[in-house]
Amino acid sequence: MAVLPDWNFSRYDNPAYNALIDQANVLAVTDREAAEAMFIEAQRMLRDDVAAIFIMDKPDLSIIASDLTGYTPNSAYGFTIPWYYVRR
């Protein structure tokens, strides 16, 4: 195996799951809603097979000066604050 099974410490390997993910990735371009349904279907395979014990969706935690307004955290950009929109 030249390619590491990145992050997959379970060494989970299910051809039906792999095929569904590949299909959903392509579909995401033209029909995002249908693709999302397919990703959910794939996750239910992981659930039934207990591919992992899924514990928690983790919060982004920070301490902020309470006199600042205009910052809405966006997990897509982690702790990047777009200061242009923030006021004191």
Q: Which residues bind another protein (CB under 8 A)?
A: 4-12, 24, 26, 28-30, 32, 35-36, 39-40, 43-44, 46-47, 49-68, 72-84, 86-88
Minimal distance, residue 33 CB to another protein, in Å? 9
| φ, ψ of residue 69 in degrees (nearest 5) | -130, 160
Torsion 25-29-30-31 (CA) sign: positive
Torsion 23-26-31-35 (CA) sign: positive
29: which 2 tokens?
């371009």
Minimal distance, residue 19 CB to another protein, in Å? 16
Minimal distance, residue 36 CB to another protein, in Å? 5
